[in-house]
Each structure stands twice: as structure tokens, then as C-alpha cells.
Amino acid sequence: MKAARQVLDFEQPVALILSGILGHVMDDDEARDLVRRLLAPLPSGSHLLVCDGTDTNEELRSAQQEHNDRTPVQYRLRSPERIASFFEGLDLVAPGVTPCTQWRPEPGAPAPHVDSYGAIGRKP
Ligand SMILES: C[S@@+](CC[C@H](N)C(=O)[O-])C[C@H]1O[C@@H](n2cnc3c(N)ncnc32)[C@H](O)[C@@H]1O
């Protein structure tokens, strides 16, 4: 946080972007604690973005397991509900927790389902 304070004005709202990051934190409590600690010093009006792979597809779950068995860089697929739990205490920005491609897609553009969910929340 010290390094962030050197380049960011913590008197102004800050965007905390955890894109493809929390999946690398295997333990749920540790991941939630990390989000809580990163958000704590940010002022009201700051926003959190999280997007991460989900366990919503058997083929992906099995491929991820195979990957995790072979590498030290593990990744945990979570349910959309668990991803939503990272936003506890924040006001979810519409449309809430959705597959990333379906979060405000361009009008008329295809928005296929992907097994990666995301959301944005505002710190009250
Ligand atoms: C899937 S990539 C996402 C990169 C980028 N944020 C994006 O959305 O395109 C995962 C990133 O997490 C970082 N990473 C790996 N293990 C981590 C950990 N334990 N804690 C925090 N970040 C980690 C990696 O260095 C890598 O940059």
C-alpha cells in the first residue's frame, strides 16, 4: 500500500482491479481477507472490479485440475456466488455479477456465455 500511495491520491476514489488475480489465492478466507485489506484504506466512492474463472463448466474444471496438478502456479475456479461474496459491504453496480462478456456488452454485439464471471462494486 505504501508504494500505491506514492502514485495514487487516496483522498480521491480509487479503482481496485483484481482481474484474474483472486483465483491464484486458493483459500477463500485468505482471498476475502485480501480484498478487505486492500479496500480498507480506500475512500468512499472507490470501486472494486473482480473477474475470475468460474467452476460452471465440467470440462474447464477438469482441465484446471489437470493444470493445477502439474504446476506450482495454482488457480482456483470459484462459483459465481463465491465471486459475489468478494463484494460484501459494497454496492454492486448493475448488472451485478455476470459472465464477463455479458457485463454491459455493446448493444447488438454477441455476448456469449464464458466461464469467467465479474462485477464492479462501489464502496459506500
Ligand atoms: C490470469 S493473469 C491476469 C493478468 C491481468 N490482471 C489480466 O487481467 O489480464 C494472473 C496474474 O496473477 C498474478 N499472480 C500469480 N499468482 C499470484 C498471487 N499469489 N497473488 C497475486 N497475483 C498473482 C500473475 O503474475 C499474473 O499476472
Question: Mean pLDDT over residues 17-44, rounded?
Answer: 97
Range of the domain at 90: 2-122
Q: Is the pLDDT of residue 114 over 80?
A: yes
Q: Is the pLDDT of residue 1 over 80?
A: no
CATH value at residue 88: 3.40.50.150
Half-sphere exposure of 36 (CA within 13 A, CB side): 9
Nearest alpha carbon, ligand 1 atom 12: 21
- The CA–CA distances, whole Å, from 1 to 10, 40, 64, 96, 116 equal 10, 11, 31, 28, 28
Mean of all residue pLDDT scores within the chain: 96
Give the Å distance between the CA of 51 and the centre of ligand 1. 11
Cell 491520491 -> residue? 9
Q: Is the pLDDT of residue 121 over 90?
A: yes
Q: Number of structural domains, the chain?
A: 1
Ligand 1 closest atom vs CA 51: 8
The amino acid sitting at 54 is T
User: Nearest Cα to 87, choosing from 61, 57, 117, 113?
Assistant: 117
Please say if the pLDDT value at position 63 is more than 90.
Answer: yes
Position in ligand 1 atom list of the atom nearest CA 25: 19
The set of cell numbers assigned to 53 is 474463472
Q: How confident is the model at residue 28 (pLDDT cuts 50, 70, 90)?
A: very high
Nearest CA owner, ligand 1 atom 1: 20
For a pocket test of ligand 1, which of 16, 24, 38, 103 has the largest count of ligand atoms closer than 8 A to its C-beta? 24
What is the structure's pLDDT at 41? Answer: 95
Which residue is closest in CA terms to ligand 1's atom 13?
A: 21
Nearest Cα to Cα of residue 47 among 114, 103, 111, 122: 122
Contact 39, 10 (CB under 8 A): no
Give the separation between CA 24 and CA 19, rounded to whole angstroms: 11
Q: What is the rounded distance in angstroms from the CA atom of residue 52 to the CA atom of residue 40?
A: 21
